[in-house]
C-alpha cells in the first residue's frame, strides 16, 4: 500500500515537471496541484494508507551521530602501599632544600626548613604533621594524611603544603568530620589559601578520602568577563557514598579581579555549573553548603547564565536520538554535527505575550542539545519557547525557574513537557516538535514565509510551490533538511494538517 503512495507521488511529480517543461499556464499548474492534494487527501483517509514509511534509499544512514557532550572523567588518584618508617618523628630541618622519595609511610613529620621539602613520590603520614616553617611542594605526587592524622604548628604562606601540580593533599576519612587542608600556592608570591571540608554525611569505604589541589589562575571558563577570582581549587573524593559536605575556601584579596562583593562560590566543573553562596568580602572566604558532588570550585560573577535544552524536530529526526544535519546545496549548512539553528524566547510567566528575552541563532546539535546563553540579570520563572523555521512554536509546560548559572530542560522525554501536550511521538519514547508551520496567508510563495502557528494547506502550498520551482539547498520548505524540496516535504506537512495541528501557548 505504501509503495502505491510512492508510485502515485512520483507519477504526479513527473506530470508536474512536464507541466513546467512545456511552460503551461499557471492555472493548469494550480489545477494539477489541487487535484493532487484532493487525491492525496482521499488516499490518506483510506484504511491502510495513513502511515507512510520512508524509502530505504533515504539519506538517513549517512549522518551517523558523531557528537559527544560527555566530559572525560578526571583521573582517579589511588592510594597505594607505603614503606613504614616506624612510629617516631622525622624532622626536616635542613638549611638547603630537602626532598623525600619513597613511597614512605611516616608516623610524625615536622617541617622546619625555610628552604622547603619536595615530595618526590607518594607519601603518607598517620600521626602529626607539624608545620613550623617551609613549603612542602607536591608536584605530581600525593601526600596522604591518614584518618587519625592531624596538623599542628602555624600554617601560613611560609609554612604550608603546595599542591599546585597534579598531586593532591589527600585526607582519609573513616567517618563524618571536619578537616582544614593547609594548602596554598607558590606562584609569584607564596599565598596561603586553605580549604576547610566538613563532611556531614556519607558511608566510608576502604581508604575513603578527599584530595585537594589548586591553581593561582582564573578558571578557563568562558562566561567569566566581569568579576572573578584568579584562583580555583579542585577536590576529588574516593570511596565515599551518600556524600554531603560544606566547604570554605580562603582566598587572597590579590586574587580578585573586578568587584569582590559580586563574587559567588561556584562549582565550575563538572558541568552543569552550580552556584553556591555569595562571598564574604570581609573574611575573603567563599562558602558552599550542602555539596553532594565535588569538582573544581572558584569565585566569580558569571556574566551569563545557561539554559541547556534538549529537543528534536519531527521531520529531521532519523531515530536513535539523532537528527539529520540540515543540508545546504552541497553539504551540511552549519556543520555535520549541527541539525539547525533555533530562536529561543523567554516569555513572561503571567503575560505570555511579553517576550522578556530572545536568543537568535541558537545551535541545535544533531543529538538534540542546545545551550542558550542569557544575561545573568534574568532570574525567576519564564516560559521557554522554541521557534524554528519550519517547526511549530512550542512552549515549556510550565514556567521554568532560572536562578542558577545553568539549568536544563528536556522537551523530548514525555508529551507533557510541552504546553498543551503539543508534541509529536517520534517512536521509542521520544517526542519532538511538529514540523510544517512555515507560512501564512499573507506570505505566499515566493515571499519570505512568516509562520502563523497553524499547520494548514497554506504551508502545504508554500512547500509545493517551492518544489515546483525546483528549490534545493537550505530552504525553509525543506522540512526534513535533506537539501531538496520535494513532495515528501509537502506530504509531511500535509499529514500534520490532517491532524489539525496548531501552536498551543499559555
Binding site for Ca ion (CB under 5 A): 437, 452, 454, 459, 478, 480, 482, 484, 489
Distance in Å, CB of 471 to Ca ion, minimum: 10
Nearer to Ca ion, 160 or 487 (CB): 487
DSSP annotation string for 22-88:
TT--HHHHHHHHHHHHHHHHHHHHSTT-S-----TTSGGGGS------PPPPPPPP-----EE--SS
Nearer to Ca ion, 310 or 324 (CB): 324
Nearer to Ca ion, 255 or 482 (CB): 482
Distance, CA of 277 to CA of 267 (rounded, Å): 11
Nearer to Ca ion, 169 or 484 (CB): 484
Distance in Å, CB of 320 to Ca ion, minimum: 20
Distance in Å, CB of 441 to Ca ion, minimum: 9
Q: Are 124 and 150 in contact (CB under 8 A)?
A: no
Nearer to Ca ion, 380 or 444 (CB): 444
Pairing between strand 89-92 and 380-387?
unpaired
Nearer to Ca ion, 209 or 480 (CB): 480
Query: What are the C-alpha distances in Å from 380 to residues 45, 157, 218, 350, 383?
Result: 47, 42, 29, 12, 10
- From 244, 224, 220, select the one nearest 234 (Cα to Cα): 220
> Cell 505570555 identifies what position?
352
- From 251, 245, 190, select the one nearest 218 (Cα to Cα): 251
Distance in Å, CB of 485 to Ca ion, minimum: 6
Distance in Å, CB of 304 to Ca ion, minimum: 33
91 three-class SS: strand
Distance in Å, CB of 290 to Ca ion, minimum: 48
485 three-class SS: coil
Distance in Å, CB of 436 to Ca ion, minimum: 8
Nearer to Ca ion, 55 or 290 (CB): 55
DSSP annotation string for 275-299:
EEEEPBTTTTEEEEEEE-S--EEEE
Amino acid at each position: 500500500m505504501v509503495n502505491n503512495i510512492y508510485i502515485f507521488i512520483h507519477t504526479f511529480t513527473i506530470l508536474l515537471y512536464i507541466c513546467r517543461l512545456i511552460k503551461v499556464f499557471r492555472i493548469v499548474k494550480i489545477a494539477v496541484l489541487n487535484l493532487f492534494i484532493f487525491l492525496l487527501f482521499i488516499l490518506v483517509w483510506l484504511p491502510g494508507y495513513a502511515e507512510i514509511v520512508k524509502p530505504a534509499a533515504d539519506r538517513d544512514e549517512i549522518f551517523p551521530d558523531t557528537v559527544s557532550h560527555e566530559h572525560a572523567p578526571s583521573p582517579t588518584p589511588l592510594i597505594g602501599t607505603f614503606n613504614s618508617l616506624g612510629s617516631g618523628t622525622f624532622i626536616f630541618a635542613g638549611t638547603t632544600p630537602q626532598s623525600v622519595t619513597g613511597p614512605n609511610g611516616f608516623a610524625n613529620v615536622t617541617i622546619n626548613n625555610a628552604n622547603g621539602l619536595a615530595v618526590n613520590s607518594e607519601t603518607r603520614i598517620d600521626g602529626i604533621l607539624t608545620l613550623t616553617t617551609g613549603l612542602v611542594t607536591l608536584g605530581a605526587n600525593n601526600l596522604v594524611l591518614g584518618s587519625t592524622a592531624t596538623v599542628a604548628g602555624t600554617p601560613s604562606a611560609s609554612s604550608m603544603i603546595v599542591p599546585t601540580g597534579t598531586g593532591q593533599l589527600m585526607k582519609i576519612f573513616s567517618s563524618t568530620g571536619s578537616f582544614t587542608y593547609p594548602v596554598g600556592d607558590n606562584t609569584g608570591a607564596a599565598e596561603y589559601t586553605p580549604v576547610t571540608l566538613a563532611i556531614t554525611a556519607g558511608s566510608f569505604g576502604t581508604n575513603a578520602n578527599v584530595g585537594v589541589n589548586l591553581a593561582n589562575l582564573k578558571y578557563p571558563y568562558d562566561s567569566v568577563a566581569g568579576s572573578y577570582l584568579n584562583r580555583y581549587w579542585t577536590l576529588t573524593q574516593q570511596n565515599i557514598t551518600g556524600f554531603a559536605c560544606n566547604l570554605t575556601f580562603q582566598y587572597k584579596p590579590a586574587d580578585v579581579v573586578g568587584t569582590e562583593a559580586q563574587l559567588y562560590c561556584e562549582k565550575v566543573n563538572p558541568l552543569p555549573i552550580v552556584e553556591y553562596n555569595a562571598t564574604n568580602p570581609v573574611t575573603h572566604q567563599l562558602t558552599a553548603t550542602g555539596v553532594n558532588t565535588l569538582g573544581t570550585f572558584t569565585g566569580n560573577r558569571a556574566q551569563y547564565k545557561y539554559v541547556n535544552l534538549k529537543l528534536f524536530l519531527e521531520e529531521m529526526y532519523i531515530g536513535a536520538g539523532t537528527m539529520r544535519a540540515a543540508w545546504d546545496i552541497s553539504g551540511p549548512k552549519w556543520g555535520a554535527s549541527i541539525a539547525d539553528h533555533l530562536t529561543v524566547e523567554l516569555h513572561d510567566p503571567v503575560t505570555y505575550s511579553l517576550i522578556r528575552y530572545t536568543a537568535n541563532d541558537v545551535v541545535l546539535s544533531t543529538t538534540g542539545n542546545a545551550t542558550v546563553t542569557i544575561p545573568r540579570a534574568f532570574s525567576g520563572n519564564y516560559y521557554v519557547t522554541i521557534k524554528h523555521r519550519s517547526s511549530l512554536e512550542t512552549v515549556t509546560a510550565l514556567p521554568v525557574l532560572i536562578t542558577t548559572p545553568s539549568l536544563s530542560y528536556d522537551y523530548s522525554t514525555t508529551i507533557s513537557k510541552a504546553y498543551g501536550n503539543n508534541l509529536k511521538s517520534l517512536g521509542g519514547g521520544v517526542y519532538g516538535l511538529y514540523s510544517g508551520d512555515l507560512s501564512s496567508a499573507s506570505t505566499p510563495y515566493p515571499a519570505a514565509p512568516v509562520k502563523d502557528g497553524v499547520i494548514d494547506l497554506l504551508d502545504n502550498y508554500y512547500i509545493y510551490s517551492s518544489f515546483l520551482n525546483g528549490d534545493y539547498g537550505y530552504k525553509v520548505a525543506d522540512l526534513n533538511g535533506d537539501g531538496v524540496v520535494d513532495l515528501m516535504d509537502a506530504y509531511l506537512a500535509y499529514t500534520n494538517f490532517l491532524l489539525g495541528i496548531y501552536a498551543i501557548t499559555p
